[in-house]
Amino acid sequence: DGGITQSPKYLFRKEGQNVTLSCEQNLNHDAMYWYRQDPGQGLRLIYYSQIVNDFQKGDIAEGYSVSREKKESFPLTVTSAQKNPTAFYLCASSISGGPYEQYFGPGTRLTVT
């Protein structure tokens, strides 16, 4: 089956710790994205990557970092500098050169206490 996987589904961390969220796709898409979703709100773009070894900041990149070493993978690190890290994190991918439909993963719910 082709698609996007995110793991884990639920993640708990103590304040001050960095945490890395996984995102893998086997759709052969060049472009990948990370969004954050807070209760009762829409999606806000954290980082995006149009091609391997290249990525750009989205609207709320502060406190986050990413890497894109492989086409299939786009991990997101939530650093201790992120002031309000508790949220639902969604990864997506699409054909590049768009705009085109973005395919979303199932999401990771991060809780930091």
Binding site for another protein (CB under 8 A): 4, 6, 31, 35, 38, 40-45, 48, 50, 56, 58, 84, 90, 92, 94, 96-107, 109
Q: Which amino acid is at 26?
A: N
Considering the complex, state which of residue 13 and residue 103 has its C-beta at the smaller distance from another protein. 103
Count CA atoms within 13 Å of residue 72 on its CB side. Answer: 7
Tokens of 86: 């508790």
To another protein, the closest distance from the beta carbon of 70 in angstroms equals 20
To another protein, the closest distance from the beta carbon of 107 in angstroms equals 5
Backbone angle region of 59, left / alpha / beta, with phi > 0 → left and psi within -120 to 50 → alpha:
alpha
To another protein, the closest distance from the beta carbon of 95 in angstroms equals 8
Q: Is residue 113 within 8 Å of residue 12, measured between CB atoms? A: yes
Considering the complex, state which of residue 60 and residue 77 has its C-beta at the smaller distance from another protein. 60
